[in-house]
Structure 1
Protein backbone atom coordinates (compact mmCIF):
# COMPACT_ATOMS: atom_id res chain seq x y z
CA UNK A 1 0.00 0.00 0.00
CA UNK A 2 1.68 3.21 -1.12
CA UNK A 3 0.80 6.55 0.39
CA UNK A 4 0.88 9.61 -1.79
CA UNK A 5 2.07 11.99 0.92
CA UNK A 6 5.14 9.83 1.80
CA UNK A 7 4.71 9.93 5.58
CA UNK A 8 3.67 13.58 5.83
CA UNK A 9 0.69 14.18 8.05
CA UNK A 10 -2.11 16.44 6.86
CA UNK A 11 -2.14 19.86 8.44
CA UNK A 12 -4.81 20.71 10.97
CA UNK A 13 -6.37 23.14 8.49
CA UNK A 14 -6.51 20.47 5.77
CA UNK A 15 -8.09 17.91 8.13
CA UNK A 16 -10.67 20.44 9.32
CA UNK A 17 -11.58 21.39 5.76
CA UNK A 18 -11.90 17.71 4.82
CA UNK A 19 -14.31 17.06 7.70
CA UNK A 20 -16.27 20.23 6.97
CA UNK A 21 -16.47 19.37 3.27
CA UNK A 22 -17.64 15.82 3.97
CA UNK A 23 -20.30 17.11 6.36
CA UNK A 24 -21.46 19.68 3.81
CA UNK A 25 -21.63 16.97 1.14
CA UNK A 26 -23.79 14.79 3.39
CA UNK A 27 -26.21 17.63 4.17
CA UNK A 28 -26.54 18.78 0.55
CA UNK A 29 -27.04 15.20 -0.62
CA UNK A 30 -29.73 14.66 2.03
CA UNK A 31 -31.43 17.91 0.99
CA UNK A 32 -31.46 16.83 -2.66
CA UNK A 33 -32.95 13.46 -1.76
CA UNK A 34 -35.58 15.12 0.45
CA UNK A 35 -36.56 17.53 -2.32
CA UNK A 36 -36.84 14.77 -4.89
CA UNK A 37 -38.55 12.02 -2.91
CA UNK A 38 -40.26 13.44 0.20
CA UNK A 39 -43.83 14.11 -0.88
CA UNK A 40 -44.82 15.91 2.32
CA UNK A 41 -42.14 18.58 1.93
CA UNK A 42 -43.98 21.89 1.45
CA UNK A 43 -42.86 22.87 -2.06
CA UNK A 44 -45.23 24.14 -4.72
CA UNK A 45 -43.65 22.15 -7.54
CA UNK A 46 -44.95 19.40 -9.76
CA UNK A 47 -43.47 15.94 -9.35
CA UNK A 48 -41.28 16.32 -12.46
CA UNK A 49 -40.00 19.70 -11.27
CA UNK A 50 -39.20 18.22 -7.85
CA UNK A 51 -37.20 15.39 -9.47
CA UNK A 52 -35.29 17.83 -11.68
CA UNK A 53 -34.55 20.26 -8.85
CA UNK A 54 -33.60 17.44 -6.47
CA UNK A 55 -31.28 15.88 -9.04
CA UNK A 56 -29.60 19.27 -9.65
CA UNK A 57 -28.98 19.62 -5.92
CA UNK A 58 -27.55 16.07 -5.83
CA UNK A 59 -25.27 16.87 -8.79
CA UNK A 60 -24.07 19.96 -6.93
CA UNK A 61 -23.27 17.77 -3.89
CA UNK A 62 -21.26 15.40 -6.09
CA UNK A 63 -19.39 18.34 -7.60
CA UNK A 64 -18.50 19.65 -4.14
CA UNK A 65 -17.39 16.17 -3.06
CA UNK A 66 -15.11 15.81 -6.07
CA UNK A 67 -13.52 19.18 -5.30
CA UNK A 68 -12.62 17.98 -1.79
CA UNK A 69 -9.72 15.98 -3.16
CA UNK A 70 -8.38 18.58 -5.56
CA UNK A 71 -4.80 19.31 -4.61
CA UNK A 72 -4.04 22.89 -3.61
CA UNK A 73 -1.31 24.53 -5.66
CA UNK A 74 0.36 25.99 -2.56
CA UNK A 75 0.58 22.57 -0.84
CA UNK A 76 2.49 20.74 -3.58
Structure 2
Protein backbone atom coordinates (compact mmCIF):
# COMPACT_ATOMS: atom_id res chain seq x y z
CA UNK A 1 0.00 0.00 0.00
CA UNK A 2 1.18 3.44 -0.77
CA UNK A 3 1.68 6.02 1.94
CA UNK A 4 -0.82 8.36 0.21
CA UNK A 5 -3.60 5.80 0.62
CA UNK A 6 -2.81 5.29 4.29
CA UNK A 7 -2.71 9.05 4.94
CA UNK A 8 -6.05 9.59 3.17
CA UNK A 9 -7.93 6.97 5.21
CA UNK A 10 -10.46 8.35 7.65
CA UNK A 11 -10.29 7.54 11.29
CA UNK A 12 -12.88 5.26 12.81
CA UNK A 13 -14.52 8.24 14.50
CA UNK A 14 -14.84 10.14 11.18
CA UNK A 15 -16.35 7.12 9.43
CA UNK A 16 -18.83 6.59 12.27
CA UNK A 17 -19.90 10.25 12.20
CA UNK A 18 -20.30 10.14 8.43
CA UNK A 19 -22.52 7.05 8.65
CA UNK A 20 -24.51 8.57 11.51
CA UNK A 21 -24.94 11.78 9.50
CA UNK A 22 -26.17 9.80 6.48
CA UNK A 23 -28.69 7.93 8.64
CA UNK A 24 -29.88 11.23 10.14
CA UNK A 25 -30.27 12.67 6.63
CA UNK A 26 -32.36 9.70 5.51
CA UNK A 27 -34.55 9.87 8.63
CA UNK A 28 -35.23 13.61 8.29
CA UNK A 29 -35.87 13.25 4.56
CA UNK A 30 -38.36 10.45 5.27
CA UNK A 31 -40.03 12.52 7.99
CA UNK A 32 -40.40 15.47 5.63
CA UNK A 33 -41.91 13.29 2.94
CA UNK A 34 -44.26 11.68 5.47
CA UNK A 35 -45.44 15.09 6.65
CA UNK A 36 -46.14 16.18 3.08
CA UNK A 37 -47.79 13.06 1.67
CA UNK A 38 -49.47 11.25 4.57
CA UNK A 39 -51.73 12.02 7.51
CA UNK A 40 -49.70 9.83 9.90
CA UNK A 41 -47.64 12.68 11.36
CA UNK A 42 -49.92 15.71 11.10
CA UNK A 43 -53.66 15.83 10.44
CA UNK A 44 -54.71 17.42 7.16
CA UNK A 45 -56.03 20.92 7.77
CA UNK A 46 -56.73 21.68 4.13
CA UNK A 47 -54.17 24.45 3.98
CA UNK A 48 -50.59 24.84 2.97
CA UNK A 49 -49.02 24.19 6.39
CA UNK A 50 -48.22 20.52 5.79
CA UNK A 51 -46.24 21.07 2.56
CA UNK A 52 -44.51 24.09 4.07
CA UNK A 53 -43.48 22.25 7.24
CA UNK A 54 -42.42 19.15 5.28
CA UNK A 55 -40.39 21.27 2.88
CA UNK A 56 -38.63 22.99 5.78
CA UNK A 57 -37.71 19.60 7.26
CA UNK A 58 -36.32 18.44 3.90
CA UNK A 59 -34.32 21.66 3.46
CA UNK A 60 -32.93 21.25 6.99
CA UNK A 61 -31.84 17.69 6.24
CA UNK A 62 -30.07 18.73 3.03
CA UNK A 63 -28.29 21.63 4.75
CA UNK A 64 -27.23 19.41 7.63
CA UNK A 65 -25.85 16.76 5.29
CA UNK A 66 -24.03 19.31 3.13
CA UNK A 67 -22.38 20.78 6.24
CA UNK A 68 -21.25 17.29 7.21
CA UNK A 69 -19.64 16.75 3.80
CA UNK A 70 -18.15 20.26 3.77
CA UNK A 71 -16.59 19.73 7.21
CA UNK A 72 -15.18 16.43 6.01
CA UNK A 73 -13.53 18.08 2.98
CA UNK A 74 -11.92 20.75 5.18
CA UNK A 75 -10.03 18.10 7.12
CA UNK A 76 -7.88 17.16 4.12
TM-score by length of 1: 0.77
Map of 1:47-62 to 2, 5 A cutoff?
A: 47-62=47-62
Residues matched between the structures, number: 71
More helix per residue: 2
2:12 is the counterpart of 1:12: yes
State the Cα RMSD in Å. 2.3
Q: Which moved more, 1:59-68 or 1:32-41?
A: 32-41
> Within the alignment, does 1:32 sit opposite 2:32 as a pair?
yes
Distance 1:60 1:35, change over 3 A: same
Q: Which runs of 4+ in 1 moved over 2 A?
A: 39-47
Q: Which structure 1 residue ranges, 5 or more long, are not aligned?
A: 1-5
Offset, 1:40:
4.3
